Amino acid sequence: MTRLSVNINKIALLRNGRGGNMPDVLQAALDCEKFGAEGITVHPRPDERHIRYSDVRTLRPAVRTEFNIEGNPTGSFAALVCEVLPDQVTLVPDAPSAITSNAGWDTIKNRVFLTQICSAFKSRGIRTSIFIDPDPRMAEGAKICGADRVELYTAAYAEQYAADREKAIEPYLITAQKVQELGLGLNAGHDLSLENLEYFVKTITWVDEVSIGHALICDALYLGLEKTIEKYLTCLL
C-alpha cells in the first residue's frame, strides 16, 4: 500500500494570516497521525510564510510517523535539515519567490551540486529524495547523484487528468518504470486529489509514498480532517 504523507503547510499559512497559534500546527500534525496518516511533510521557505523553522524544530520530536522535509537545499535550509535529522529530505528546486513548486530538478545539469547534497544528507542517515519531472533521463541522473528515491512532480498529470487520464499518466508510467529498473524508491506529489489519486496509484502500483497538502486541507474544510484522511487512505488501498 502506498503511504500517505500529509503536507501541513496550509495549516501554518492559515495560522500566520492572523497571528497567534490558531490553528495549532503541532496539534494538526498529531491529529493527522491519529487519523491514519503515515507521514507528515513540511516545506519551510526562506520567508517562513507558512511553515516556520521553529515549527520544524517543534514537530521533529513529536511526530511519530515519517517526518519529511521538502525544500531547496541551500544555506539555512540545509543547516536545518542537518540539525533536526528528519526521516526523509526531498530536494525541490523552488526559488524563494515561488508561490509553490513549479518544476523538478535537472539532475544532469545540477549533478555536481546534487551529488554533494545527497552525500551530505545521507552521511547523517537521512533518506534523500529528488523532485523530478516525468522524464526517465532525470531519474537516471538522480541515481547518479546518489539519491535514494525520486518524487515525481505530478502537476501536469493533475492538469490533464480530466481530459484524458491515460495520456496524462503515460510519461509518469514510463518514468516510474525506469525508476523501478534503477532500484530507486518512488514518491509522488503536487496537485494529487480525491479525483485523480486512485487512478495514479492503481496504474503505478509501486509508488512508495504520496505527499498531499493543498487538496487535502481544502477537502477537510468541508468534510473534516478525520473523514478526509480516511477518504485519501481509501484511494490508496
Among 33, 43, 50, 151, which one carries the catalytic annotation?
43
Q: Which three cell numbers stand for residue 113?
A: 551540486
Question: 130 and 114 in contact (C-beta within 8 Å)?
Answer: yes
Residues 6+ apart with CB under 8 A from 67: 39, 40, 59, 60, 86, 87, 88
* Cα 54 to Cα 51: distance, rounded to the nearest angstrom: 8
163 DSSP assignment: T
* Cα 59 to Cα 41: distance, rounded to the nearest angstrom: 10
Closest CA to 138 of 122, 160, 124, 153: 153
Among 33, 151, 190, 209, which one carries the catalytic annotation?
190
17 DSSP assignment: H
* Cα 50 to Cα 227: distance, rounded to the nearest angstrom: 24
Per DSSP, the three-state class of 224 is coil
How crowded is the C-beta side of 118, counted as CA atoms within 13 Å?
A: 21
Is 43 designated active site? Answer: yes
Among 33, 70, 151, 209, which one carries the catalytic annotation?
70
E runs forming strands in 63-180? 66-71, 88-91, 127-132, 149-153
35 DSSP assignment: T
Is 190 designated active site? Answer: yes
Is 50 designated active site? Answer: no
Q: Which three cell numbers stand for residue 20?
A: 497567534
Which positions are catalytic?
A: 43, 70, 190
